[in-house]
Amino acid sequence: MIEQFIERASSYAGDIDFLFDLITYMVGFWFIVAEGALFYFLFRFRRQPGQPTTYVDGTDKKHKRWINVPHFLIIACDVVLIIGAGNVWYKIKQDLPTQDATIGIVSQQWAWTFVHPGNDGELHTDDDIRLVDELHLEVGKTYHYELTSKDTLHSFSVPVFRLKQDAVPGRRIKGWFKPEKEGVYDIQCAEMCGIGHGVMGATLIIHSSKEFDEWLAQAGTPGKNAKVLAAANEKNPRPKD
């Protein structure tokens, strides 16, 4: 259902969509049942000429069926939802798969700095590629990310990945994603972080293997990384303390 409005581009986006669909169908079913019963009773037992009013005092045990039966059925639905949510949570948040690369993500008012590993494939080395508001990934590769904040609470949100992870000052938060569809998509901040929150967006570019190698060769050219980062920081300066 959600994919009709926002396309999927990660390996676990379908799991998130299925969970939301399951919640929607279960809640929608009981909503229709409850409203159907309400309107049935309204019309079935509406006031009629010559028909005396009957007082229901709650002592007739058969009336409890209208509470007990739906109650146990809803509990069964809740158990299904809890199990489903627990499985998806464990898959996304707890069971980190083996990574092909690690990306650094730094949030600040009001920009994103993405640290890509250079030609050596390792993060936190001299050939790291730093870009502001621009994240480049290779389709089909599994990425771990290290999310930090320089100032206040932010939230790294990628709608097509069905990913939203808060960035907390003083913490290095780890997670993962695996892009499975090429294209250009939006990155957002999903946490109110100040007056510039509304413009704290970035661009996600998912390349084919060939395109990614070409981008990496160009972005990793000696001197080019420093110039790109200097220009980006000039456009998005850090706020004064």
Domain positions in the chain are 2-94, 101-235
**Quick check: do 2-94 and 101-235 share a fold?**
no
Q: What is the mean pLDDT of residues 50-79?
A: 81
Tell me the average pLDDT across 52-70. Answer: 77
Pairing type for strands 134-138 and 202-207 reads: parallel
For the domain with range 101-235, which CATH number is right: 2.60.40.420, 2.30.30.60, 3.40.630.40, 3.30.530.20? Answer: 2.60.40.420
In the chain, the amino acid numbered 74 is: I
Contact between 228 and 220 (Cβ < 8 Å): no
Q: Please, what's the b/e burial string for 14-49 (b: 16 or more CB within 10 A of its CB; e: otherwise)?
A: ebbbebeeeeeeeeeeeeeeeeeeeeeeeeeeeeee
Q: Which of 139, 118, 138 is nearest to 128 (CA)?
A: 118
pLDDT reading at 140 higher than 80: yes
> Average pLDDT in the 88-101 region?
88
Average pLDDT of 79-89? 89
For residue 51, what pLDDT band results from cuts at 50, 70 and 90? Answer: confident
- Across the range 106-118, mean pLDDT stands at 91
SS3 134: strand
Query: What is the reported pLDDT for 220?
Result: 66
Q: What is the pLDDT of residue 94?
A: 84
- Between 239 and 39, the higher pLDDT residue: 39
Percent of the chain residues past pLDDT 70, beyond the cut: 90
Mean pLDDT of the chain: 85
**Strands of the sheet with 129-132, listed across from one edge:** 129-132, 111-116, 101-108, 143-149, 173-177
Distance of CA 175 to the CA centre of its chain: 12
CA–CA distance, 224 with 226 (Å, rounded to integer) = 5
Q: Is residue 229 predicted with pLDDT exceeding 60?
A: no
Long-range contacts of 160-168 (CB under 8 A, 24+ apart): 160/6, 160/7, 160/8, 160/9, 160/10, 160/13, 160/185, 160/186, 160/204, 161/9, 161/10, 161/13, 162/8, 162/10, 162/12, 162/13, 162/16, 162/17, 163/10, 164/190, 166/191, 167/105, 167/107, 167/191
Q: Tell which residue, 39, 181, 156, has the closest CA to residue 105.
A: 156
Q: Is the pLDDT assigned to residue 93 strictly greater than 90? A: no
CB atoms within 10 A of CB 210: 9
Q: Which CATH class is domain 2-94?
A: mainly alpha
| Global pTM value | 0.76
Q: Quick: pLDDT tens for 148-161.
A: 999 899 999 999 99
**Distance (Å, rounded) from C-alpha 183 to C-alpha 139?**
9
- The beta-strand segments (E) located in the chain are 101-108, 111-116, 129-132, 134-138, 143-149, 154-158, 163-167, 173-177, 183-189, 202-207
